[in-house]
A and B are shown apart, each in its own frame.
Chain A
Amino acid sequence: MKLKTNNLREAGLIVIIATLCLVMSFASEFFLTWENMRAMLLSFAIEGIVVVGMTVLLIVGGIDLAVGSVVCLSMVIVGALFLHGFDPWTASVIAVVASAGIGLCMGLCVTKIGLSHFIASLAFMVIARGLSLAITQGTPQSLFSLPAEFKLIGQGTIYGLPVVILIFGFIVVVSDYILRKSVLFRKVFYTGSNERAAMYAGIDVNSVKLWVTVLCGTMSGIAGVVYTARFGAATPTFGVGMELNVIAAAVIGGASLKGGSGTIYGAVLGLALLSVVTSSLILLDVSVYFQDVIKGAILLIAVSLDHWINSRKQSN
């Protein structure tokens, strides 16, 4: 039944996305071209890595508003270390570890002090952004001297497929499998669904919450490294507002803010939908300022629909 409802939602999202693409192909002959598809996929592939971490965190009943800032901090750390003579691979490892560290601090605030994820991550959103600005003194770092092998991560192709998309695909497939099948991640669902019941079953709910928060930070860090390789630059204002897009995608894809449910494929499809909409709006020449209004409306409709279906299910 659970699989069925999830599959139903995912199928629904695919139908909506396909319909939208079909309609758009009449509106703009450019839309259904390989170039445009590739551009769309590229535009959300890296964000998709962040969505994976966020989805798991939402399932445990948490939320991370700091993802955009942490992605940016990770980029800035890679950039700054590289400019100070580190090789970019070492710099990347340090950046990912630092991002995981932010996740760890956030998780400790939640599990040891007892703050909510919302407040803890709000604080770290500001802290991480501040660190990025402090490290760069507020100016973008140009990194065009990055070695070609490193830039390959973000810009190269293998058999015509962008490496970015391969990385994204790999992370999605693996994390989906682990999330659904592994014993370890079952505890995430239990904890998010009913923390007390999980505790009564002997699950150490605090350590589950802690490592899931660290995981989310780590994914943001990895995304930051890939972005750096893709852009060959690190801007201290990058990723502002990314958290909203990422949370919206996960929620459209079936993750509940109350915890206990969510799937990776659902969240990725949610992100794809938002991305197709954005791309359509651009091709249709809709004002940039108006695009957010439509995206917000889509989120509202998706979530309301979900709420409505759920409340009907419960009254039956």
Chain B
Amino acid sequence: MLLELRGVKKSFGATNALIGVDFSLQAGQIHAVCGENGAGKSTLMKVIDGILQPDVGQIFIEGTQVLIRDPGHAARLGISLVHQEISLCGSASVAENIFMYEINQSKRLLMDYQELQVRAKKIINTLDKEIDTSINVENLTLSNQQLVEIAKALALDCKILILDEPTTSLTEVESKSLFKILRSLAKGGIGIVYISHRMAEIFDNCSHITVLRDGASVFNGLVKDTTPDEIISKMVGRELGKYYPEKSKTIGTDPLFEVINVSDASRVNSVSFQILPGEILGIAGLVGAGRSEIAKTICGLTPKTSGSVKINGEPVNASSYRAALAEGIAYLSEDRKSEGVFLDLSIQSNISSMALRAVQTTMMTVDAEKEKVQAEELGLRLKLKASSVAANTSSLSGGNQQKVAIAKLLATRPRIIFMDEPTRGVDVGAKAEIHQVLRQLCNEGVGVAVISSELPEIIGLCDRTIVIRNGTVVGQLSAHETTEESILRMASGMA
């Protein structure tokens, strides 16, 4: 056994990322690891690469128990990881990036750039690719950067090669040549762990498969003995909670909000959809599909290169977020701590922050009494639990901080509201309360769109769901068509 993990657990504060993973990899295998967003795949890989240390559990390499201290140590043990997010040094050359690990270990005094270039070219050529190895990485396209990242892993003389969704920004042809190399590496006795959502890739190229769900390994076996359908049902396999508010009974036909062919310079590609009166629209997709980018572009937080938006059939100016807010289009960030609330300010000044004019006196100062009343009203509506609205926002729990972030948007009296992961990191009770508020808003005639990586939330809450892949809408599902399987199929390009 090349690599074996037994009962690995890892938690971050109150969040249990891994609750007991068993995994084994033999030399010569290409072993797929799959699971939904948040199932713990990336955490598991970070544990194997020594970036994180498990709280509980054992790791064996070739039968010997090891404690992997850091990525450098992992590399000495023969483990090499291609990260999901590209982690290269932009202002260093391709060759210097490929041999970063080796240069760090080198006992030589001086660099031999020429030799580095020659060897880097050789590695790049095995990928059937021409990349100038002397230029800086920051000048490469995203897909070439991804290839450099892979070349970097190949440059290590590794026994275990882990690839975390390496093909997300590769073309079909590039992916094919990558798999050709992986197969020949596997033949040479290297064990390969391949993380992917793409069923087609897995079933064409991998020999073994392990499925993670909610931080535990729930399935493992030979790829030839299973089917994509079985794998998807293993990835999902959850009961939906019963605490979601009732779905809408009356959905209008004239769209409340229309998005027409909106694109941005990079990630958003001709997006069109509508929000009808009385419905909560779900926006689903895999991590990196471009859901947040789409919402941000619609709301004017990133510049549009084309397209327009309409409210009640009237074109509105949403070229900047300021303009969009004035038209009543609001966006709740998925990153509460850094983009959602001002942690060091009081609850009431958080809530008034986006619509200061509403609490202004004639002397242009803030009317603390008005501010307090507004905060208390919205707080009551959202069932905010706080000692007083003058308390610091940092003193609140995650769920209540999120309610403050939502109240802050509601204070602007929005007509359309985009909620990006509105219940991430929120406890079950607060989650249900936030869902109730969203349903209420919707019934009052506000257009509500919810982005969520949590499929049960999309299914339980939304009346209709659009699915995003590669920065564009690839399909829509009505309430009774929406299942975890149907979403995952569309999101991973299987349907």
Contacts and interface: CB of A to CB of B under 8 A. Distances in A.
Interface of A: 1-2, 180-184, 186-187, 189-190, 192-194, 196-204, 256, 260-261, 313-315
A261 B89 CA distance: 11
A199 B139 CA distance: 22
B132 interface: yes
B35 to A, nearest CB: 23
A202 B138 contact: no
B3 to A, nearest CB: 19
Interface in B326-349: none
Given A1-B135, A202-B71, 11 more contacts: A1-B136, A1-B139, A181-B111, A182-B109, A184-B109, A194-B88, A197-B88, A199-B71, A201-B100, A202-B75, A260-B90
Contacts of A187: 103-104
B23 interface: no
B111 A1 contact: no
A186 B111 contact: yes
A203 B104 contact: yes
Interface stretch (B91-99, B229-237, B253-261): B91-99
Interface string B95-115: 011001101111011110000
B92 A202 contact: no
Majority SS of interface residues in chain A? helix
A198 B87 CA distance: 9
Count chain B CB atoms within 10 A of each CB in A1, A180, A183 and give the residue with the most: A183
Contacts of B91: 2, 189, 192-193, 256, 260-261
B153 to A, nearest CB: 11
Contacts of B111: 180-183, 186
Count chain B CB atoms within 10 A of each CB in A181, A187, A197 and give the residue with the most: A197
Q: Interface size for chain B: under 10, 10 to 19, 20 to 34, or 35 or more residues?
A: 35 or more
Given A196-B87, A202-B71, A202-B105, A1 B132 contact: yes
Contacts of B136: 1-2
A204 B49 CA distance: 16
Interface string B58-78: 000000000000111101000
Nearest to B71: A200
Nearest to A201: B100
A250 to B, nearest CB: 15
A202 B104 contact: yes
Contact of A197 (B87, B105, B134): B87
Contacts of B92: 2, 189-190, 193, 260
Given A198-B100, A202-B70, A202-B72, A183 B93 contact: no
Given A189-B89, A194-B87, A200-B83, A1 B104 contact: no
Nearest to B136: A2
Contacts of B104: 187, 190, 201-203
B131 to A, nearest CB: 12
B103 A194 contact: no
A289 B267 CA distance: 50
16 contacts: A1-B93, A2-B92, A2-B135, A181-B110, A183-B103, A183-B111, A186-B111, A187-B104, A190-B92, A190-B104, A192-B91, A193-B89, A197-B87, A199-B70, A201-B101, A260-B90
The 4 closest A-B pairs by CB, nearest first: A202-B72, A193-B89, A260-B91, A1-B135
